[in-house]
């Protein structure tokens, strides 16, 4: 199992280009099943979760060709199976979004419970309720058995603004008879990417970027070409890495239009940046001081549905807070295991109190120390957060199970070394 060895204390300096949005690409690939014509996707990140999705699509009968430099040609001329390989489905959460395309294309689906990060309960009820509204039946054994004799448009109010449930419903609805309205829809950048992509293929999706989507079903979709947008979670991660190491980093093609709320939260920790076109520049030696609420009250940073602060960046800014002067409360209401890496920060010297599974209090600044024996990456975002802690710690840190980081960040060790990080990957059989 690969591990990272990091000698902390080196400021990051230079330029970095972030990869394509992981969460967008993981839905755009299944969306290619909605047409029998060829589709070309650009800027697809070369990460473990994408490799798993590619394998899933090939198992179903789609042809996928790696064109190099992040470009893929996909054609699902014939789909030979409606059964999702359970061993592959258990590796990624995104396997659930095969439901919409396969039901639209084949009218049936057999799916084992999806996998992914172990960050708490991740219900699929919203998916099921929305698909049922479109005319889908479900039987449950040790897996989900979906079927339909024809998808029909419906007026759907999602019981939560679930990203993957919104995406599944969109993909089912574009080929359904009649009009579908999705209320309380998620509106994250990757949901917007999916809608724009489907419209390029001939779908009729309106209200993109809002919480109400109107979809007029069409008879078929054609081929097309699309570029995956920048991964704003990776952008936010490199902002944090620059801030905690005191370096100056230009993040190229960062899609700054998606960063206003992320900027607000970082500003509360004393982190600021400049925008130049599509690039952002994080200056050296950020003040790193918590801005208290009115009356000197302890501020709360809480993850919320888009366009509020994203859950996937909460672990990153928590590490930044360990280096900022002041006290701040972090609140993750969605996932009860999100903060189950904080004990590792405490090993490294952070002053942190895990109040309960959903709340963590940080008092900074703390001088972090390298830790060689007790740091293991439990999931993608916690792994990247621990990497940030190691970059600013004094001494050497060893992070094990970095395959978790590789699932969500493309060549992160190479990108950090190019910025001056003293980081080595040790490959183990």
pLDDT band at 217 (very low <50, low <70, confident <90, very high): very high
Same domain, 215 and 278: no
Examine the fold and report which residue of 179, 207, 227 is the final residue of a domain before the chain moves on: 227
pLDDT band at 118 (very low <50, low <70, confident <90, very high): very low
Can you give the CATH number for the domain in which 318 is found? 3.65.10.10
Q: How many CA atoms lie within 13 A of 152 on its CB side?
A: 8
CA distance 61 to 42: 21
Give the pLDDT mean for 104-118.
75
Phi/psi at 81 (nearest 5 deg)?
-150, 150
Could you tell me which residue, 224 or 48, shows the higher pLDDT?
Answer: 224
Same domain, 130 and 7: no
Same domain, 31 and 10: no
Same domain, 170 and 286: no
Domain of residue 370, residue span: 3-19+231-426
Q: Cβ(159)–Cβ(127) under 8 Å?
A: no
Examine the fold and report which residue of 167, 199, 227 is the final residue of a domain before the chain moves on: 227
Phi/psi at 288 (nearest 5 deg)?
45, 70
Same domain, 245 and 132: no
Q: Cβ(22)–Cβ(233) under 8 Å?
A: yes
Percent of the chain residues topping a pLDDT of 70: 97
Across 201-342, the runs of DSSP E, i.e. the strands, are 204-206, 212-216, 224-227, 248-252, 274-276, 279-282, 300-302, 326-331
pLDDT band at 115 (very low <50, low <70, confident <90, very high): low
Examine the fold and report which residue of 227, 250, 267 is the final residue of a domain before the chain moves on: 227
Same domain, 372 and 390: yes
**What is the number of domains present in the chain?**
2
Which positions are annotated as active-site residues? Answer: 117
Same domain, 277 and 199: no
Same domain, 66 and 42: yes
pLDDT of residue 119: 38
Give the residue carrying structure tokens 């979809």: 215
Same domain, 12 and 131: no
Distance set, CA 241 to CA 170, 285, 286 (Å): 35, 12, 12
Same domain, 141 and 63: yes
Same domain, 340 and 219: no
pLDDT at 132 over 50: yes
DSSP 261: H
Task: State the average pLDDT for the chain.
Answer: 93
Same domain, 11 and 67: no
pLDDT of residue 121: 43
β-pair type (248-252, 13-17) = parallel
Give the pLDDT mean for 80-98.
85
Q: In what order do the strands lie in the sheet with 224-227?
A: 63-68, 71-75, 39-42, 224-227
pLDDT in tens, 181-200: 999 999 999 999 999 999 99
pLDDT at 113 over 80: no
pLDDT in tens, 223-242: 999 999 999 999 999 999 99
Q: What angle do CA 421, 404, 260 make, to 5 degrees?
A: 70
CA distance 280 to 263: 11
Give the residue carrying structure tokens 């991964």: 231
Query: Is pTM beyond 0.85 here?
Result: yes
pLDDT at 422 over 60: yes
Using CA atoms of 204, 155, 101, 55 in order, give the dihedral in degrees to the nearest 10. 110
CA distance 338 to 13: 30
pLDDT in tens, 1-47: 799 999 999 999 999 999 999 999 999 999 999 999 999 999 999 99
């Amino acid at each position: 199992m690969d591990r990272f060895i990091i000698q902390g204390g080196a400021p990051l300096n230079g330029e970095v280009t972030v990869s394509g949005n992981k969460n967008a690409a993981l839905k755009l690939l299944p969306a290619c099943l909605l047409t029998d014509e060829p589709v070309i996707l650009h800027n697809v990140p070369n990460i473990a979760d994408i490799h798993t999705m590619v394998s899933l699509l090939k198992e179903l009968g789609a042809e996928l060709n790696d064109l190099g430099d992040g470009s893929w040609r996909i054609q699902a001329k014939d789909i030979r199976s409606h059964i999702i390989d359970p061993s592959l489905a258990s590796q990624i959460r995104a396997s659930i979004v095969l439901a919409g395309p396969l039901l639209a294309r084949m009218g049936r689906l057999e799916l084992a419970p999806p996998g992914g990060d172990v960050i708490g309960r991740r219900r699929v009820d919203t998916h099921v309720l929305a698909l049922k509204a479109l005319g889908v039946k479900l039987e449950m054994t040790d897996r989900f058995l979906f079927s339909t004799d024809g998808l029909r448009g419906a007026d759907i109010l999602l019981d939560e603004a679930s990203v993957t449930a919104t995406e599944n419903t969109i993909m089912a609805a574009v080929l359904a008879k009649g009009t579908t309205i999705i209320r309380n829809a998620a509106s994250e950048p990757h949901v917007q990417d999916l809608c724009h992509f489907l419209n390029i293929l001939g779908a009729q999706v309106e209200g993109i970027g809002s919480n109400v989507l109107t979809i007029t079903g069409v008879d078929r979709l054609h081929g097309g070409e699309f570029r995956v947008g920048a991964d704003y979670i990776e952008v936010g991660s490199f902002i944090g890495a620059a801030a905690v190491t005191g370096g100056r980093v230009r993040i190229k093609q960062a899609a700054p239009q998606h960063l206003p709320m992320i900027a607000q939260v970082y500003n509360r920790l004393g982190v600021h940046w400049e925008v130049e076109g599509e690039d952002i520049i994080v200056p050296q030696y950020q003040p790193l001081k918590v801005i208290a609420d009115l009356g000197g009250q302890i501020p709360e940073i809480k993850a919320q549905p888009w366009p509020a602060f994203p859950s996937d960046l909460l672990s990153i800014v928590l590490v930044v807070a360990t280096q900022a002067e002041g006290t701040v409360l972090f609140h993750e209401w969605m996932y009860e295991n999100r903060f189950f890496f904080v004990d590792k920060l405490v090993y490294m010297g952070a002053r942190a109190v895990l109040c309960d599974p959903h709340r963590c209090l940080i008092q900074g600044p703390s001088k972090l120390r390298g830790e060689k024996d007790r740091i293991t990456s439990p999931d993608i975002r916690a792994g990247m957060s621990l990497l940030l802690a190691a970059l600013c710690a004094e001494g050497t840190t060893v992070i094990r199970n970095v395959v978790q980081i590789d699932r969500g960040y493309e060549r992160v060790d190479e990108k950090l070394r190019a910025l001056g990080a003293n980081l080595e990957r040790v490959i183990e059989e």
